[in-house]
Structures are given as C-alpha cells and as structure tokens.
Structure 1
Amino acid sequence: MTRRILLSHLSLILFVLLALEVPFGLFYARSEVSRFSHSAQQGAMTLAEVCEEKMEHGVAGDLPELARAYGRRTGSRVLVADHRGVVLTDSAALAPVGKNLSAEPDISAALRDHPVVGSRSAPFAGGDVLFATVPGGSDAVVPCVVRTVYALGPLKAKIHGTWLALGFVGVGVLAAASLIGFALARSITRPVRALELATAQLADGRITDPPATDHGPPELRRLAASFTTTATRLQHLLHAQQAFASEVSHQLRTPLTSLRLRLENFEPHLAPCAQDSLDKAVGELERLSRMVQGLLALARLENSAIRPEPVDLRAVVADRVAIWTAFADEQQVDLVVSGATAVRVWAAPGALEQIIDNLLSNALRASPPGTAITLAVIDAPGEGSRTVSEAELHVIDQGPGMTESERRRAFDRFWRAAGADHDGTGLGLPMVRQLTRASGGEVTLETAPGGGLDAVVRLRHAESRTHRERPGISADTPDSGVFERASGREK
C-alpha cells in the first residue's frame, strides 16, 4: 500500500513537472533563436548603412577593416558585395574578392531590396549557421549587400544547458517529493499495518498488540477504535463460549450417568412386559449422552486454534487398523491397507487418528458380513491447477453406499440417511470435516467402484512450504473414544 501511494504521488508530481517544464523549455528555445535572429538582422542592417556611406564618400578601401572589426566584435563572418553581387571583402577570406555571388539566393534577394534571415549547414563552421543578408540602402538600385554569418553552436549549447538545468530541477523536485510522499504514505499506512497485524492475531485467537487509536487520519483512528471494540467483544464471547462448553461437559455427565443408574436399578422390580420399554429408555439415554459429547466436541473444535504438525499418514493408518481389527472380526469384515508406504502430511495433533476412527466406525456399520474395508494411502503430487502436492486417504467400504443427494447432505449436522442406524447422532461426519479442515485439508464422499462408499481425505504434504495453518482444535479436545461413540453410520 505504501508503494502504491508513493507511486501515485510521484506520478502526479511528474505529470505537473512535465506540464510546466516542457512548454517552458520549448518557449525558451524558440525565444532565444528568435532573439538571436533579430539581433543578427539589426546588426547587419546597421553595418550595411555604414558600408553604404563609405561607398558614397569614395572610401570603399575602408570596408575590409570595417568588416574584420565587426566580425571580431560580434563573432561573425562578414561579407560585403557591390550592387552587382561582386565580393568587395570577406572577413573570413572564404570568398575571393571579385567573385560574383549574385546567383546565390540570399544575395539575389538582397539585391532586390529583400533582406533574408535563415539557417543552413556550413562545413567550414563545423555545424549549422545563422545568416542575415540585407541590402545597404533603400534606393531603386541597391549600392551594396552585407551578409553576416553566425555559428549556432554556442546558442544550441546555451539552450541545451537550460534543458539540463530544468532536468536537474525536476529531479530535485522529484527527490524532495519522494521523501515527503514516503513520509506521508508511511504515516497513512502505519495504522493499516497495525490493523493487519491485529487481525492476524485475532485469527489466531488472541490480540497481544491492539492497534493504536491516536495515530493516522481520523477515519483510520475511528476504524481502529471500532476494530478494537469488536475484537474485545469477540474474545469475550469466545472465552464465554469455551467456558460454557467446559462447564456443560462436567455438569451434564453427572446427571446423565445418575439417570442411567437409576433406570438400570429399576430392572429387578419391573414386570417382564416393561423390560422392552426400559431397554429403549436406556438406549435413548445413551444416544443423548453421545449427542451431548458430540456437540461439546464440535464446540471445542470451532472455538479453538492449533498449529498443524507433520504426521506419518501410513503409520497412523496402520496403528488404527490394528486397534479396529478386533471389532471388524466380530462383524466378519476384513480391513485391508494398501498404497504408499511412507507419506508425511500436515495434520492437527490427534486429528488424523480421530478422522480414521470415525470413518472406520461408519464403514463397519454399513459393511455386510464377508466384505472388506480398504484403507488406501495415495501420494498425489501437485498437477494441473494444484500447485501444492497432496496425499489422499481412501476409506472404501462395500456397503449400500449413498445417492448423490445424500452425499451432498452427509456433512450437515444431525442429518442421517434414510434407513440408517437410529442410534447415530448425525455428528460423526461433521467432526471429520472439521478435523480435516483444521489440518488444512478437505474431505469428500464419492461412489466406490463396484458399489459402496469412498470417503476421501486430502491432506497437504509436510514438505509443502505453502501450507497455511488453519483454525483447528486445541490440546484439550476429547479423546478418540468420544468420537468413536458419537460416530456411527448416521450419515
């Protein structure tokens, strides 16, 4: 922002300088040439009158000395010709005396009583010259013609010096404007940078350097004050919500546990016909307990922030499969691991284990006996529109699968597919998505080849330097057991 403000400021100054200096330089150059031409013509006319007087009084022999004296005084070359255009004298001795120059345009025009002023290239002068050719007298017959020739080098050097001075002035003005503009831009953007820093800190969950409200323009001061007030309220609300989640977690567990014990104590005193109602009540109580635990876990996920860390995806998969093998054997379902042997990815601490536990729990609920669940680890380097390489974890079951509309709603809270196990809470897959996003990745549900469901978890490679830390969970997130109990095939 500082650079853009400075560039716009300098562009405006440069435009003003060009608009002022270029016309002034052109006007100065034209004025100097016009003044020099007029001075040369007036001097030639004065010399021509003197030459005419000399010739009338019969002292034409004085013309050579007169021409040389005028040439030395004005720095010009002087040529005098008679009424026929024959050279009487040349101060530079370039035209011999007696040579007829009446055929030259300027001499011919002067003999007709028309003075001529112009410029041309002259090799003897080493560049362009200015000449003024005037008649000596105004009678019907011009008695003599005087031509004065001036080198234009000194005049051009003077004009170039003026342009150079204008350039130095412009550079100096730009340098001064740069310093002033930089100081002005810094004073304007300093509050903006402070707001940017405070915003980044707020995204991490805590503001340690609130923006100052007494620096910068009035609009930015008011913005900083409003931001500080809003950030303070947000932090207060977040702390209150986190405290509420923590307190409710403790306050609800005791009455729910007590209620379950009281219901189970009724069992010996109930008639056999009421046993089914008691079982259903206990089951609903367990479902309520799982739902409360799931809601508290989601609240903690949404209200906390963590820093993802490198994790060996294949090692975590192997570890969780070893834990779940016993549960899978009870349902006569095989767990198969395939794919890359060692892939390190960015993941929130403990999140990858909980993601796999939830997906395996869902897959086991949907898998018929005699089928298999495949956990495939695929190394997917960045290609096409992806500039960052990723790794994919596929959890593929051979169950009934989901329709396209069901897959679109699968991550909505409390939503369960038609015909799903009614013991589910509808919070398992939302937790998976929240944990995956906290790790900087994404999760999708796809149709598996041959039927069933393919849950795809995409995570960034740990070697990727463009990985961005994203809000996630904190160290006090409930353990994987909570997620196992709250997962189920509810989606």
Structure 2
Amino acid sequence: MTRRLLLSYLVLTALVLLCLEIPLGFVYSRGELERVVSAAEDEAESVSAYASLSITAGSEAKDLPGRAAHCAERIGGKVLIVDHSGKLLATSHRLDAAESDDLSSRPGIAAALRGTSSVDVRTSTIGGVEYIAVAAPVKHGVLKQGAVRITVPTHMVVERVRHVWLLLILGGLAVLAAVAVVGFAIARWTGRPIRELELATRELADGGTATPVGITKGPPEVRSLAAAFNHTAARLQHLLASQRAFAGEASHQLKTPLAALRLRLENLESDIALNARGSLTAAMTETDRLARMVEGLLAMARLDESAARRERVDLDGVCGERYRAWGPLYEQHGVRLVLVGDYAGEVLAVPGAVEQILDNLLSNALRVAPPGSTVSVDLRRPAPHERRFPHRVHPHRPSGPARVELHVMDEGPGMTEEQRRRAFDRFWRAPDAPKGGTGLGLALVQRLAHAGGGEAVLRAAPRGGLDAVILLAPAPDRGDGTPSPPSQRPSRPLEVTTR
C-alpha cells in the first residue's frame, strides 16, 4: 500500500510539473528570442539614422567604418552598410571580392534598399537559434540612401534558454524528491494501521488471539475501521472460546450417559422375554448410532473452531497404516481390500485429516460392499509434466492445479447422480442405505478435505459401485530445492491385498 500511495503522489506531481514547466519553458524561449530581435532592430535603426546623417553630411567615408566597428564590438556581431546602389560603404568584418560584388542581391539588403525593414531568423533542427539578421533602410525623408544589415550571434540566447530548461528540469526533480520524502512519510503514516490490521487478521485467521489494533493512529476512516475490527475480533474470540468449551464439555458429558445407557440395555437382555429382545436390540443399535452421531458432531465442531495449519503428510505411509488396521475387519466380513496405485509422495493436509477421511470412507465402503466383493484404495499422483505445469488443462480431468488423487472404490449398489450431489449434506442418507449410519461421515470427509485445500468428489465406480475421490494438494519441493523423499521413489504400481 505504501508503494502504491507513493507512486500515485509522484505521478500526480509529475503531471502537474509537466503541465507547468513545459509551457513555461516555451514561453521563456519565445520571449528571449523576441527580446533579442527587438534589440537588434533598435540597433539597426540607430545605425541607420547615424548613416543617414553621415551620408547627408558627406562624411560617410571617415565616420561610418568607425561607427560600424564600434557597434559590432558592442553587440558582438557584424555590421554592414551599403549605399542606394548596393555599393559597400562600411563593414565591421572583412569581405571577399565575391561577397562585395553581390551585396544588393541578398534578400535582407534588397528589401531594405526598397525601403522595407526585414528580420531573418534562422533556427537549427533542435530548436536552438543559429543567428538573427536584421536589415533596415537608410532614408532621409523620402530619399533612399542605402541599407544597414546587422547580424547578431545568438549562442548566448541559446545558452540562456538551455540554462533555463536545465533549471526547470532540476527544479522539477527537486520537487519530485521533496514530494517523495513527504509522500513516503504520509503513506507510512496512513498504511501503518492497515498493516497492523493485516497482521492482526492473519493471527485471527490462524486461530491465534488477535492483538487489539491501536485506534489513535492514521486517518479517521482507518481509526474507525480499527475500532470495528477490535470489536469484531473480541466477539469472534469469545464465540470461538465458547464453542471450544462446549465441544470439550459435551465430549465428556455426552459420552458418559450414552455409555451408561448402553450398559444398562445390555444388562436388561437376560431379563427380557424372547419376543421383546428384537426391540432391545433395536434400542441398542439406535444407542450406538446416537453415540456415533455425537462423535461426528463433536468432530465437526472441533474442525470448525480449529484453524490448524496444513502440514506435509506421507500419504503412502498413512494409506498403508490404515490398510493394516482395517484389513482384519474386512477379512471377517468376507470382503477383499486392495491397496493399489502409484507412490503418491507427500501431500498437504490438516494433521490427522487423512486418517479420518480414510476411516470414514472405508467404513462406508464396508457397510455397502457385498461379501466376496472388492474395495480398492487407489493412489494416483500427477505426472511430472503436470507438476511443472500445474495449470495446464488435460482432457477427462478437472481443470486447475494438479492434485494427488485418493480413490476408494466399492462394488456396492452405488448412488444415482442426484444422490451423489446430496451425499455431502449433513444428516442426509440414501433411501436404501444400510441402517446404523448418521449421515455425517461424508460431510466430515468433505470438511476435512477442504480444510487441507483439497476436494471431495463422488463418482460412479467402473464396476457399478461408488468411487469416492479425494483430491489433495501435493507438497511442494523442500526449501533446499530437493523434492520430498517419497516422490523420489520410482513410480511403479503398488498392490497389497487381503482375502
């Protein structure tokens, strides 16, 4: 923000200086040229009057050369006087024979011999004046006696004009420097509270306690914003603290009664008639479902109130560990569990999120998988060129940055397209779903994937079941320029099965 404010100050100042100094420089240049021309014309009129008196008195031979030399020395130029026929009477500089014979044909002198004054200003291609030639007629009444031509060198004018342009440029740079210093101070003063607000917002977003921002610095609008932020941050911290306390207390207060209720129902089993044991079993099932629902709600509440940072997770190691944990249970149900795919390497995820995602997906898959079927956990990492060009669009793949794909595919009844769209809603369950579910598992999976910067998608599996796809961001190369260790392993299919 400081740079943008300072740049805006400098741009506005530069525009104002250009609008003022460029016209001022041209006005001065034109005025200086007009002043020199006027002075040359006055000098020519003076020499013309003196020449007229000398010619009338018949003393031009002895008076005019001295007058011409004196005038030329005073103005630093050249003076030339001719009679009515164009014959040279006096000059301040030496002329060769060709110039002496051709004086009357010169444009300025010819016009003066006809009784008309003339000014000839020659300029160079860069705008600087090279010389000024002024011709005036020598007359006594109506009698034309000759002409006077004065050539004034204008290098002094050019130097003065360049000096003024240089002063204008240096003055403009000095003004810009002063504006830069003052503007930087103002920009820092204006931006300091906003930077403090940014730091406090980041602390609050990272789950920390935001330090109150001072409301005595900066413009009134920024101070008002700081006061509103402090009030909002305090209220949000209070709400987060209340939610955190509720989650912690509820996790203890609800588990104990549910466990006691489950135990009492089990103790009643021996005292209930056979025809009523079905209702007892249903009550125990609903108790277990209520316990799982409470656990899911608490997990989602803890996820909502925590702002855990993403960290590097070895996806291969997590998948292997969860495979070994679920393998015996799958074997008891007669379902084949398969872990296949590439070495995925490290991904970015919230701590513990990948384990919970796999547990929920494997639990759902086991619930719907018929005996003798196969549940596949498939890892697919982006190709090397996709890592180098993560935003390149590939056919049959979702657009966006390249992601590591974690697939959990079953061979159950699957879901319709409408059901797959609603499956991530809280408490929603498919009409033909097995009993015992809470409708929170997939919602929690989606929240955990989003928390790690990933995505959760449900697709139709190739064999008719459901393909739950988790897209995770691959971990970037380490700071020393080397990739993460798992990605250094050869890309080869990995298959682990249990029967």
Superposed counterparts of 1:44-193, under 5 Å: 44-62=44-62, 63-94=64-95, 96=97, 99-120=101-122, 128-193=130-195
Which of 327, 330, 335 lines up with 2:329 in the alignment? 327
Superposition misfits of 4+ residues, deviation over 6 angstroms: none
Structure 1, unaligned runs of 5 or more? 467-491
Moved more, 25-34 or 139-148: 139-148
Which of 206, 209, 218 lines up with 1:207 in the alignment? 209
Contact 1:315 1:342 in 2 (8 A): no
Distance 1:266 1:100 in 2: 141
2:13 counterpart SS class: helix
Which of 269, 281, 289 lines up with 1:279 in the alignment? 281
Distance 2:152 2:297 in 1: 99
Distance 1:100 1:251 in 2: 123
User: Is the counterpart of residue 233 in structure 1 residue 235 in structure 2?
Assistant: yes
1:445 aligns with 458
Contact 2:449 2:455 in 1 (8 A): yes
Q: Residues 298-351 of structure 1: CA distance to partner in whole angstroms, max 9, x if unpaired?
A: 101111122222222122212211221111112221111111135111222222
Moved more, 410-419 or 93-102: 93-102
The size of the alignment, in residue pairs, is 463
Measured after TM superposition, the shift of residue 118 of structure 1 is 1.6
Superposed counterparts of 1:402-417, under 5 Å: 402-417=415-430
Matched to 2:449, the amino acid is T
Moved more, 223-232 or 308-317: 308-317
Q: Residues 173-231 of structure 1: CA distance to partner in whole angstroms, max 9, x if unpaired?
A: 11001111111111111111111111101101123532111100111111101111110
2:339 aligns with 337
Contact 1:110 1:134 in 2 (8 A): yes
Distance 1:48 1:431 in 2: 107
Distance 2:68 2:147 in 1: 12
2:446 aligns with 433
Structure 2, unaligned runs of 5 or more? 394-398, 480-499
1:297 aligns with 299
Distance 2:349 2:199 in 1: 25
Q: Residues 8-43 of structure 1: CA distance to partner in whole angstroms, max 9, x if unpaired?
A: 111111111112111111111111111110110011
User: Is the counterpart of residue 315 in structure 1 residue 325 in structure 2?
Assistant: no
1:361 aligns with 363
1:485 aligns with none
Matched to 1:65, the amino acid is G
* TM-score of the superposed pair, with normalisation by structure 1: 0.90
- Measured on the aligned residues, the alpha-carbon RMSD in Å equals 2.0
* TM-score of the superposed pair, with normalisation by structure 2: 0.89
Contact 1:396 1:448 in 2 (8 A): yes
Measured after TM superposition, the shift of residue 127 of structure 1 is 7.8
Q: Residues 375-422 of structure 1: CA distance to partner in whole angstroms, max 9, x if unpaired?
A: 111111344157754311111111111111111111111000111012
Q: Residues 39-74 of structure 1: CA distance to partner in whole angstroms, max 9, x if unpaired?
A: 100111111111111111111122112111110111
Distance 2:187 2:379 in 1: 52
Matched to 2:422, the amino acid is R
User: How much identity, in percent, do the aligned residues show?
Assistant: 46
Q: Residues 249-271 of structure 1: CA distance to partner in whole angstroms, max 9, x if unpaired?
A: 11112222222222333333322
1:470 aligns with none
Distance 2:310 2:269 in 1: 49
Contact 1:313 1:345 in 2 (8 A): yes
Contact 1:205 1:235 in 2 (8 A): no
Q: Residues 415-447 of structure 1: CA distance to partner in whole angstroms, max 9, x if unpaired?
A: 001110121000111111122222222111111
Which of 397, 403, 421 lines up with 2:410 in the alignment? 397
Distance 2:56 2:100 in 1: 19
1:463 aligns with 476
Contact 1:9 1:181 in 2 (8 A): yes
Distance 1:465 1:229 in 2: 40
Contact 2:458 2:466 in 1 (8 A): yes
2:340 counterpart SS class: strand
Contact 2:52 2:140 in 1 (8 A): no
